[in-house]
Amino acid sequence: MTDAPSYGFDTLQIHAGAKPDPATGARQTPIYQTTAYVFRDAEHAAALFNLQEVGFIYSRLTNPTVAVLQERLATLEGGVGAVCCSSGHAAQIMALFPLMGPGCNVVASTRLYGGTVTQFSQTIKRFGWSAKFVDTDDLDAVKAAIDENTRAVFCESIANPGGYVTDIRALADITDGAGIPLIVDNTSATPYLCNPIAQGATLVVHSTTKYLTGNGTVTGGCVIDSGKFDWSANDKFSSLSAPEPAYHGLKFHETFGPLAYTFHGIAIGLRDLGMTMNPQAAHYTLMGVETLSLRMQRHCENARKVADWLENDDRIDYVTYAGLPSSPYYERAQACYPKGTGGLFTFAVKGGYEACVKLVDSLEIFSHVANLGDTRSLIIHSASTTHRQLTPEQQEAAGAGPNVVRVSIGIEDADDLIRDLDQALAKACG
Ligand SMILES: *Cc1c(COP(=O)(O)O)cnc(C)c1O
């Protein structure tokens, strides 16, 4: 099919990027389990290597199964191109790689996935990059943090885990003014609940491990480009605007226009960093994306029911879910995320650390795992697991105090989830 913008989300999540297999007519996208592709002749090979012709060379760079997923995610996010990679964390490095260099920094929200905080505050220093963390609700602080070496602002749309939702439009106004890209991690919201590009974002990153695949089978990531940023407006983005020595002085932006960032991601990023998604993973994720809207509707509906029930239970101190009218982010969520605020939230148990540990051990349907965005309901007590190494003050600041658990509400029967929480809380707080 042609991916006409008139098709609705439910149609595109099944069809975008996919045609019946030209070799066999296979209706489902085949898993092209191959490392390399035969060149038509020596001239064809030379044209491919010179980036004069687009085609398949070697699966570290491109693979037909992965290409279908790339086109589907680009379409769902309203971008011009996408590069899939081996994990969400790989996608974050791939997203920053064309923009950054030694001495450059990214201004990042303080409300990020814990692994991203570690990657940004520690590991990227090895590349000579750095991150400046700011509260993205404080727009003056965001503006003040941007300096001449800042190459991007990075945030999450719905920030895991504290029931926080970002005003992407407000941040995009700032990055537009500063002439730098806005990168939005849209993992927790998915393109069904939020379209960062429509709200002004330049780039979108995903951990496809989560809701896009949807059933906890494979890790993966994706970087999607809006195609709207002018990389040649100043000399900050020389990887994209200046001659590239590895391709005989080719200038990506001049040569590929709006696809410059995507081509750079493949021809330099995947070629040299090698954080490639394999075709099996792309297959599982394509299967997941086909039902994304249906699952997200149920995740939101169930999360709202369970959060409501918990908020009214006297064993619970508080619930942080932007879909509850008690949330300080409720109004913003209604305006910016009208289809719902996802399936993730935290709640505080009156019995503290001991009660939380007993709660996770007593649940029967919920699984105690370090993951989210599964069809199954998941729970984790951060203070005794992912945030164990932090001081009590750091745990509180991260919304992971000793009395707090995080849930990722699945698509089971909401009544069963509530019954399970009820019986486990009886044991935990008994
Ligand atoms: C899981 C996650 C990541 C990291 O993704 P991996 O696939 O685990 O590498 C990044 N951002 C968010 C919001 C996540 O939930």
Tens-digit pLDDT profile for residues 135-165: 999 999 999 999 999 999 999 999 877 789 9
CA distances from 171 to 57, 113, 189 (A): 39, 19, 17
Q: Does the CB atom of residue 88 touch ligand 1 within 6 A?
A: yes
Q: Residues 20, 23, 27, CA angle at the centre, nearest 5°?
A: 25
> Look-up: residue for tokens 């045609």?
19
| Most ligand 1 atoms within 8 A of CB, residue of 84, 109, 110, 113 to mutate | 113
The CA distances from residue 328 to 163, 165, 310, 353, in Å, are 9, 10, 17, 25
Alpha carbon distance, N-terminus to C-terminus of the chain: 58
Cα of 113 vs centre of ligand 1, distance in Å, is 7
Q: Is the peptide bond before 30 cis (omega within 30 degrees of 0)?
A: no
Ligand 1 neighbour 114 (Cβ under 6 A): no
How many whole angstroms from 220 Cα to the centroid of ligand 1? 9
Question: Which pLDDT does position 5 carry in this prediction?
Answer: 57
User: What's the rounded Cα separation, in Å, for the pair 154 and 136?
Assistant: 10
Distance 334 CA to ligand 1 centre (A): 25
The secondary structure of residue 214, as a DSSP letter, is: -
d(CA 94, CA 231): 17
Q: Which amino acid is at 206?
A: H
* Predicted pLDDT of residue 382: 86
Atom 6 of ligand 1, residue of closest alpha carbon: 88
Give the pLDDT score at 388: 79
CA distances from 258 to 226, 231, 241 (A): 8, 9, 12
CB-ligand 1 contact for 89 (6 Å cutoff): yes
**Cβ–ligand 1 contact at 221 (below 6 Å):** yes
Query: 350 CA to middle of ligand 1, Å?
Result: 30
Question: Ligand 1: does its nearest atom lie under 6 Å from the Cβ of 304?
Answer: no
Q: Which residues contact 177 (CB under 8 A, 6 or more apart)?
A: none
Q: How far, in Å, is the centroid of ligand 1 from the Cα of 157?
A: 13
Protein fold of 292-429: Aspartate Aminotransferase, domain 1 (3.90.1150)
Beta carbon of 213 within 6 Å of any ligand 1 atom = no
374 Cβ closer than 6 Å to some ligand 1 atom: no
Question: Is residue 156 in contact with ligand 1, taking CB distance under 6 Å?
Answer: yes
The answer to whether the CB of 75 is under 6 A from ligand 1 is no
Measured in Å, residue 372 CA sits from the centre of ligand 1 at 9
10-288: which CATH topology?
Aspartate Aminotransferase; domain 2 (3.40.640)
Nearest residue by C-alpha to atom 7 in ligand 1 = 88
pLDDT for the residue 4 = 53
Amino acid at 364: E
Domain residue ranges in the chain:
10-288, 292-429
State residue 241's pLDDT score.
Answer: 96
Q: Which residues of the chain have pLDDT under 50?
A: 1
Residues paired with 407 in a beta bridge = 345, 379
* DSSP for residue 86: S
pLDDT digits over 94-120, tens only?
999 999 999 999 999 999 988 899 999
Output the pLDDT for position 51. Answer: 85
For residue 160, the CA-to-ligand 1 centroid distance in Å is 10
pLDDT the model gives residue 397: 72
- Ligand 1 neighbourhood includes 219 CB (under 6 angstroms): yes
Q: Is the CB of 244 under 6 A from ligand 1?
A: no
Residue nearest to atom 4 of ligand 1 (CA): 88
CA 143, CA 262: separation in Å to the nearest integer?
Answer: 28
Pick the atom of ligand 1 nearest to 91's CA.
9
CA 30/CA 20 separation, integer angstroms: 9
The pLDDT value recorded for residue 392 is 82
DSSP three-state, residue 408: strand
